[in-house]
Every structure is written in structure tokens, then in C-alpha cells.
Structure 1
Amino acid sequence: MRAAVMTGDRGLCVYAITRGREWDRVTFPEMHAGQSPALISQNGLGLVAAEVDLALFGGVNAESAEDGLLARLAREHDAVVRAVFDHEPVLPLRFGTIVTDTAAARRLLDSGHAQVSEWLDRVANHREWGVRVEHEDTDQRSNVPLTGISGADYLRMGRQSQMSWQKRASTVQSLHIELARHATSAANRARPRALLDATYLVPQANEDEFRAAAARLHEEVQRLGATVHATGPWPPYSFTRIELAVH
């Protein structure tokens, strides 16, 4: 969802869309951006929003410090999404998305009702997991002085290094396919030095099998000289590709 540019002093910061059947059980952290979030309901859907002072968001794009305002607001956004996610299926919205008022929030829900309902059904009882595998620089030639080594030996070491890299890549790809078997959807992003940087939308009923497969990935790939980083569970940030017009 794209963010709106507002000109007034106050607006509604929107965090997520949900159904809100168990809204009374949701407990939010202390809010820096504004009031505690409320649920704006419309035709069976709910928009999680809080009234905020728009001046807070005026200059955050230029700020990058981990303890700065931008970081604090982003962490707060994630905390709100997670609080709802603990009880309800949730579609996280882009950080900094603002609507003018409650009427605009309801229009937003009406405009994308069918699409949003379909996505909520899709992510219900699912959680997102991430797995990243990075290869270490194991090229033997980079650590060997060129004096005293023949050209044939140097080329042999290069072939061995290339074969080792290819074996790691093949093993990771096979295990990515196995991980994806336990997921409803998977996304693999290309990143420098990464053999795998993937996210998985996993049914909660499949999480034990998914985690066992991830443990095998960890053991097998580490033996081949790569490092594995697993994260989760997360709200389905990577699997809610919705675009709604914000007015």
C-alpha cells in the first residue's frame, strides 16, 4: 500500500488490516507516535489505526540512526502489527501510511474489500519464516603466495574452489525446495554473497516439519563452509502484495 502525503496537523496512521474478531484480546505497547490504536470496522474488515501528529513523520526519511525517531516509529509500527497478529490474521501495511480520517479509512476498506478478504483468507493460520545462507570466501588461491606454486596447481585449486561453491549452491537449492514443500508460498530474493535469501509462508500446522527441514539445512550447509541465519515467526510481511488507493 502506498503512503499518502497529508497537509493537515492530524491524521490517522494505519498499521494493518484484519478481521477483528478477537480485538478485545489485543494489548498494544506504549505508543510514541500517538494514541493507542483503534479498530475501524467496515463490512467484516477492520483497519488498525491511531490518530497521530503528522509533524512526527515530516522529516523521518532523512534520519537513519538506530535510536532515532525513524527507527523508533518503525519498531512501533511492527509492534502494533505483531500485537494484532498474535490473535488475528493480519495484512501489514507500509510504514508511514496515513489517511485523513475515519471516513477515508472506511472508503479504503470498501474499495479493496474483495482483494483484502481473499488475502486474509490466504494468510489465516500462517506465519512467515526467513532463511538466509551466506557463503564464506574459501577460495584457496587468495591465501596462497604465488611464488613457489605451479600454474597447474593454481588452476587445480581454482577448480576445487569452484566445485566446492557449486556443491554448496546445489545443496542449498535442494533444501530450499524441501522447505518450500512445507509452505503455502515461498519467495527467494537475489542478494550479493547469499546462496539463499528466502521467506516462507508456513501453515502453523506444518511448522514442526518446516523447522526440522531448516535444521537439516543448517547442519548440511555449515559442513560445506557456509553460514545459516533463520528468523521467525513473523507476520506475513512478504506475502501481502496488496495495493489500495489512499485518499
Structure 2
Amino acid sequence: MTEWGTEQVVEGTALYVFAVCEAPDPAVFACLPGVAAGEPLRPLCFGALTAIVQAVRAVDFTEEVWQARMSDRGELERYARAHHDVVSAAAASCPTVPLPMATLYHDEERARQALLGETERFRGALERTAGHSEWGVKVYAAPLPASDPTPPVPGTPTARSRPAPGAGLAYLERKRGVQAQRERRHDDALRLAETVDGAYRNLAAAGRRLRLHGPELETDGHLQVLNATYLVAEDRAVELETLTRNLRDATGTRIDVSGPWVPYSFVGEV
């Protein structure tokens, strides 16, 4: 999101804002390149808070240029990694609110005034996430059985012969049985997702359910039934690991956990 206001700047420099912190240590990000190699990262104070900023060429961040860059997977990954590296470095030294990629202002004074106007929201996010990390949890159910037409057996009439009495009814019954089994396993998968989500929410300060990945993204045939992220106190990380092991043992299902991360998902709209 580019915070240009109503008119884009296409000449000179703009100010890219990575994050807002309470009291960052400049040494932790002094050697990082940010998104504009050659331009130093620096703190920008506004009231009692501090933003981590970098001067960039405004022409490199017009809406048209940014949209083209986002359609290039390599460029998107490069900018996302550069942005994340700065946010993570700041978060390692103090409570931090990450801002979206490509948050820009015309100049330092406009940035300071805009950030000052959001001070209360930043403070709320800092209080909510201080001492916490974000953990991702994905749960996968075993593949549901495919509808399996019954193969011919010895003695089965050929296509030219008359079907055996009751053959059509038996086929329909088998089809209904397969469908019922699929429905039961689907219901079991939904209950599994609720059970796992509830267990993590009991440990976490907050949780969010995310959109499930489609089956086309899975290579082993397993179906994702839960894609969630949780805000967990840093001193409860060991409990989270224990909970994960216990859930895997109790459910016999695949549970993938990633983290800890800077709590991007729990800072709200800032």
C-alpha cells in the first residue's frame, strides 16, 4: 500500500517506512540494505515512538511501477525479504509494529505528521503484541477415498449380454456407500480442525483462521483442513511445542507448525 495521498510524486525522493517501534537499537539494522541499496536505514522519531525509514527514489514506487514489480515473482520475493529483514531486526531489539510493504510518504515531515495521527493505534498494537510471537499452524487430513467403480469379476456378463438380476441396484448401493464414507470422513476432518484450533486458542492470546490452500497445492494427496495463525507469549513457546506433539499423537494427523514470526497478523489495520 502506497501512502501517496491524492497525487503521486514521480521526481526526487520519498520516505519508505518499514515499522514503528518503541525504542529500537539502530545498530541492529544499520548494516541492512533495506529496499534501496546505498541509502541508509535510519530512525524517525514522532512523539514517544520511532519509525524505521529509508529514502527511496519516488519514481521507483509509482503505482504503475509497483504493480509491475509485484507481478514479477523474483522481484516480489526480493522486496518482501528486504522488508521482512528490517522488521525482524527491529523486533529483535524492542516491541515493533510492522507496516505493509511500500508504505511511503512524500517527505519526512508528512511522514511524521501522518504517523503522529496514528499514535494511539500504534500504541494499542504494541501493547497487544509485546512479548508475543506469531506461529502458523496447518493441519492436513488423509486423502478422501475416490469414487471407485467396481471392476468386472469373473462371470460378469459382457456388455452384449443381459445384466444379471439386481446388478444395477447393487452398483447404486456401492456408490451410495462410497459417498457416505466420503461424507463421514469430511465431517471427521471438520471436527479435527475445530479440535486442533480450540486447543491452540486455549494456549494463545489470539488466533486467526486463514483461507485454506486448495488441493492443487498439495503434492502428497493430503487435504488441508486448518490454516491458522496464533499469537503466543514468548515464554509459552515450549508449551506450544508440547501441545503440538500431543495433538499429533492424539489425532494421528499431520500438523505443520512454523514460527516464531513477527506478529504481522495481529497488529490490526495500521
Question: Please, what TM-score do these two structures have when normalized by structure 2?
Answer: 0.79
**Residue matched to 1:65:** 72
CA contact (8 A) 1:91 1:120 kept: yes
**Residue matched to 2:161:** none
CA contact (8 A) 1:131 1:199 kept: yes
* 1:111, distance to aligned residue in structure 2 (A): 0.6
CA contact (8 A) 1:21 1:88 kept: yes
**Residue matched to 1:201:** 231
In 2, distance between residues paired with 1:22 and 1:10? Answer: 25
CA contact (8 A) 1:128 1:200 kept: yes
Corresponding residue to 2:139 among 133, 141, 159? 133
In 1, distance between residues paired with 2:141 and 2:174? Answer: 24
* 1:220, distance to aligned residue in structure 2 (A): 4.6
**Residue matched to 1:20:** 23
* 1:71, distance to aligned residue in structure 2 (A): 2.6
* 1:14, distance to aligned residue in structure 2 (A): 0.5
In 2, distance between residues paired with 1:36 and 1:159? Answer: 63
* 1:147, distance to aligned residue in structure 2 (A): 4.7
CA contact (8 A) 1:26 1:83 kept: yes
**What is the one-letter code of the residue matched to 2:228?**
A
Corresponding residue to 2:257 among 210, 230, 246? 230
CA contact (8 A) 1:37 1:49 kept: yes
CA contact (8 A) 1:4 1:98 kept: yes
The share of aligned pairs that are identical, in percent, is 22
**Residue matched to 1:4:** 3
**Deviation per CA, 1:44-102, whole angstroms, max 9, x where unpaired?**
101110001123234131243332x3331221111111111111111111101101222
In 2, distance between residues paired with 1:23 and 1:242? Answer: 26
**Residue matched to 1:110:** 116
Are residues 1:179 and 2:200 paired?
yes
In 1, distance between residues paired with 2:61 and 2:125? Answer: 28
In 1, distance between residues paired with 2:245 and 2:114? Answer: 42
CA contact (8 A) 2:14 2:57 kept: yes
Q: Which runs of 5+ in 1 are unaligned?
A: none
**What is the one-letter code of the residue matched to 1:109?**
L
The alignment yields a C-alpha RMSD, in angstroms, of: 2.2
Q: How many residues of Structure 1 are paired with residues of Structure 2 in the alignment? A: 236
**What is the one-letter code of the residue matched to 1:66?**
R
**Residue matched to 1:156:** 177
CA contact (8 A) 2:24 2:90 kept: no
Higher relative contact order (CA closer than 8 Å, sequence separation 6+): 1
* 1:189, distance to aligned residue in structure 2 (A): 2.0
User: Bigger radius of gyration, 1 or 2?
Assistant: 2
- Distance of aligned partners of 1:21 and 1:66 in 2 relative to their CA distance in 1, 3 Å threshold: closer
In 1, distance between residues paired with 2:85 and 2:109? Answer: 25
Residues 31-70 of structure 1: pairs in structure 2 closer than 5 A: 31-34=34-37, 35-58=39-62, 59-63=65-69, 64-67=71-74, 69-70=75-76
Question: Please, what TM-score do these two structures have when normalized by structure 1?
Answer: 0.85
In 1, distance between residues paired with 2:67 and 2:23? Answer: 31
**Deviation per CA, 1:99-148, whole angstroms, max 9, x where unpaired?**
1222122212321112211211111110001112244532242xx23455
Q: Displaced runs of 4+ in structure 1, greater than 6 A?
A: none
- Distance of aligned partners of 1:231 and 1:121 in 2 relative to their CA distance in 1, 3 Å threshold: same
Partner SS state of residue 59, structure 2: helix
In 2, distance between residues paired with 1:115 and 1:153? Answer: 59
**Residue matched to 1:189:** 210
**Residue matched to 1:211:** 241
In 1, distance between residues paired with 2:138 and 2:40? Answer: 35
* 1:26, distance to aligned residue in structure 2 (A): 4.2
- Distance of aligned partners of 1:115 and 1:31 in 2 relative to their CA distance in 1, 3 Å threshold: closer
Q: Which runs of 5+ in 2 are unaligned?
A: 153-169, 216-223
- Distance of aligned partners of 1:177 and 1:116 in 2 relative to their CA distance in 1, 3 Å threshold: same
Corresponding residue to 2:97 among 83, 88, 91? 91
